[in-house]
Structure 1
Amino acid sequence: MMKRLACASLLALVAACGSAPVAPGFYRVERGDTLSKIARSNRQSVQSIVRWNNLNNPDSIEVGQVLRVVPAGGTSTSGAIRSSGGGSASATPRSAPAPVAADSAPSAAPASSISLVWPADGTVIRRFDGNNSKGIDISAAAGTPVIAAAAGTVVYAGNGLRGYGNLLIIKHNAEYLTAYAHNRALMVKEGQSVTRGEKIAEMGDTDTDRVMLHFELRYQGRSIDPSRSLPPR
C-alpha cells in the first residue's frame, strides 16, 4: 500500500515540475528508473548508492527524489560497475527534464506556505508520519468526488507509478505539488489548468486494498505534512 509510497515521492513530479537543477554528484530520479539502472548509468554499485543515501529499501525510490551518485569526495569509487549492455554510461549525473521517493534529505521548514482545501470528503484513516506515510489517506465511498486542493496545472495523469494506481499530480507553483492516488477515474489531463475545488477525479481503490484517496503535498520535492496547510475539520 502506501508503504511503498516512499517509493514513488511523487510524482516525477518534481523533476518535470520545475524544481531546481540538481548539484554535481547528484541525480534526480525519473519515471521508469530503478536503482540498478541509476547505478549503471553513473558507473557505481547499487550498494554504494544505498550507503551514500541511507536507503532502507533499494526498491523504494521515488520519482523526483534526489540521490547522491558519487561519494562525498566527488570521485567515483573503485567498486563502480559498467553498463551491462556494453553501451557507454555517463558518469555525470543527469538532471531530470520532466513527474511520487524516500526523500533525499530531511524536510526543512518551508520558506513559504500554501493554503489548501480538503481534496475529498471522508474519514482520515492514516496521517502523515514522514516515514511509512508520505501523506494522508481519506476513506469514503467509491466514486466520491476528488477535488483540486489548490489551483494549478496537471503535470501527471496516469497509472505508471507503482503503488499509486490512477494518479494525478498538480503543480501549484515553483515550490509546491500535490498528488492524488488510487482514483477510480481521472477527470483531467496532463497540461490542463484546474481551479481550487474543481472535480479532478473519483475516489477508487486502484493499486490498494480499499477505497480511499492518498493525498500528498510536496515542497521542493520533499513530502511535508499536508494537514498543516489544510483547514481544521
Structure 2
Amino acid sequence: MKALTTVILVTIATLLTGCLSGREFVSVEEKFSKGQTATGFHLVERGETLFSIAWRYGIDYRELASANSIASPYVIYPGQKIDIRNVSKRSRPPVVATVENPSKPLPKSQRPAKPPAKTSHNPPKNNDNTAETDWKWPVNGRLIGHFSTKKPVNKGIDIAGALGESVLAAAAGTVVYAGQGLRGYGNLVIVKHNDTYLSAYAHTSRILVSEQEVVKAGQKIAEIGSTGTDKVKLHFEIRRNGKPVDPLRYLPSRPG
C-alpha cells in the first residue's frame, strides 16, 4: 500500500511539473493571442513583417520600431523577440492632476494665464483624411458589414463580391505585407500609403503583388475569396497611426 501511494505521488508531481514547464501544454489560442501579450513580447515567425505585427496588436509601426531599436527599412528575423509591452506604455497619455471645486480660489497672482483664443476659419469636419485624399473603393460590391467598436467588433467594413473578382488598391502606396500569417484574415495584403495611413485587404483568394512593390490607386492587387472566413467577401480596413478607423469616413460617397 505504501509503495502504491508513493507511485501515485510521483505521477502527480510529474504531471504538475510538465504543466508548469512544458510548452506542449500551451494551446494554439494562447500561443497566438493572450500568451504573447502576457509575456510582453512577440516571437517573430517566418513570413511576418514589422507592419503585420503592429497590425496584429493595433499599434503604430513606428512606435514598435522605436521601442525595439529597429531602423528603416524595418528588417526582422524569425525567432526575434519584439517588445510589445514598452510600446503600450509609451502610448498611454500623461496623467494630469486636477482639482474640482476648490474650497479656496487661488489669488490672481498665482492663477495661470489664459491661453490666447483660437481663431477658426471653417476647418474641415474630418481632419483625419487630409493626409490622404485620393481614396477609392477597393471593390464595387454591396456593403454587408459596417465598422464597429462595440461587440461584435469590426475593425473595418465587409463588401460582398464574386469569387475571383478584382480587388483594387484604395490609394497609391507600397505593399508592406502580403501573406496569410495573421489569423482570421486569410490571404492578406497591407499597403502603406504614407507615415500616417495603411490599408488592408483580407480573405482574398489570390494575392497578385509582393512586398515592397509600389502600387497605384486603382491597381489590381488581389482577387476576392473566402480564405479565413465563411463566405466570399472582401474585408477592408484603414488604420491611422496604427488604430482602426471607419473606412466610410474616407471613401467617396457612392451614387444612390
1:76-117: CA deviations, max 9, x gaps? xxxxxxxxxxxxx99994569xxxxxx999xx9738442310
| Unmatched runs of 5 consecutive residues or more in structure 2 | 1-30, 42-53, 60-80, 94-125
Contact 2:144/2:160, CA 8 A, preserved across alignment: yes
Q: Structure 1 residue runs of 4+, over 6 Å off?
A: 89-92
Q: Give how far 1:154 is off.
A: 0.4
* Residues 62 and 187 of structure 1: CA distance in aligned 2, closer, same or farther (over 3 Å): closer
Instruction: Name 1:23's counterpart in structure 2.
Output: none
SS in 2 for 1:227: helix
Report percent identity of matched pairs. Answer: 44
2:158 aligned with 1:137, yes or no? yes
2:58 aligned with 1:65, yes or no? yes
2:250 aligned with 1:232, yes or no? no
* Residues 104 and 149 of structure 1: CA distance in aligned 2, closer, same or farther (over 3 Å): farther
- TM-score, with structure 2 as normaliser: 0.54
* Residues 111 and 186 of structure 1: CA distance in aligned 2, closer, same or farther (over 3 Å): closer
Instruction: Name 1:216's counterpart in structure 2.
Output: 237
Q: Give how far 1:41 is off.
A: 4.4
Indicate the structure (1 or 2) with the bigger Cα radius of gyration. 2
* Residues 198 and 35 of structure 1: CA distance in aligned 2, closer, same or farther (over 3 Å): same
Instruction: Name 2:203's counterpart in structure 1.
Output: 182
SS in 1 for 2:158: strand
Matched AA of 1:121: N
Provide the rounded CA distance (Å) in 1 between the counterparts of 2:247 and 2:197.
11
* Residues 197 and 111 of structure 1: CA distance in aligned 2, closer, same or farther (over 3 Å): closer
Instruction: Name 1:125's counterpart in structure 2.
Output: 144
Contact 1:128/1:225, CA 8 A, preserved across alignment: yes
**Greater relative CO (CA pairs within 8 A, separation 6+):** 1
- TM-score, with structure 1 as normaliser: 0.59
Provide the rounded CA distance (Å) in 1 between the counterparts of 2:171 and 2:129.
18
SS in 2 for 1:63: helix
* Residues 142 and 104 of structure 1: CA distance in aligned 2, closer, same or farther (over 3 Å): farther
Instruction: Name 2:132's counterpart in structure 1.
Output: 114
Aligned residues: 155
SS in 1 for 2:170: coil
Provide the rounded CA distance (Å) in 2 between the counterparts of 1:169 and 1:144.
18
